[in-house]
Structure 1
Amino acid sequence: MAYSMHCALPSRSYFEALETAEKRALHSFFDQHVIEDDELGYFALDEGDYNILPVHLAARVVHTVHGGMLDEF
């Protein structure tokens, strides 16, 4: 699931997307990516929404937070 925040300052939207990704990663098996977008600035994307991250999105990943849940049981 992608979460976006519109913000006039690119650095602020980056840190908001990063915060969202970090919070979601704590409760997810999937990696959370911060994606750069020309219109939105930055947004958080849950890798679990895609079988394989599409090339057009993978090319815009600026940071990844690894999922915090383990599937070892």
Structure 2
Amino acid sequence: MATRARLQANTESYFAALALAEQRALHSFFDQHVIQDKCRGYIALDEGDYNALPAHLAARVVHTVHGAMLDEF
């Protein structure tokens, strides 16, 4: 049963992080990444906060939502 609860918690944290990344991407020039985290399951991370992602974070990216704002005017 503990495995099932952990799987459900991970699934919920993934979809919560994905929703946040998609929402942020609409108003950002930077890509939004869903990162796997040992303690919290999944988190959303803004690439603009880190410039290029450090290798230890890049290795844990499970999904990327590209920034939707364009700088071409």
Normalising by structure 2, what TM-score? 0.87
Identity %: 74
Distance 1:51 1:22 in 2: 19
Match of 1:68 in 2: 68
Match of 1:3 in 2: none
Runs of 4+ that moved beyond 4 A: none
Unaligned runs of 5+ in 1: 1-7
Output the amino acid matched with 1:37.
D
Larger radius of gyration: 2
SS at match of 2:62: strand
- Displacement, 1:51? 1.8
Per-residue CA deviations over 1:22-64 (Å, capped at 9, x if unaligned) read 0000000000000001111000000000121000000000000
| Cα RMSD (Å) | 0.9
Report 1:18-33 matches (<5 A). 18-33=18-33
The structure with the greater share of residues assigned to strand is: 1
Distance 1:13 1:52 in 2: 24
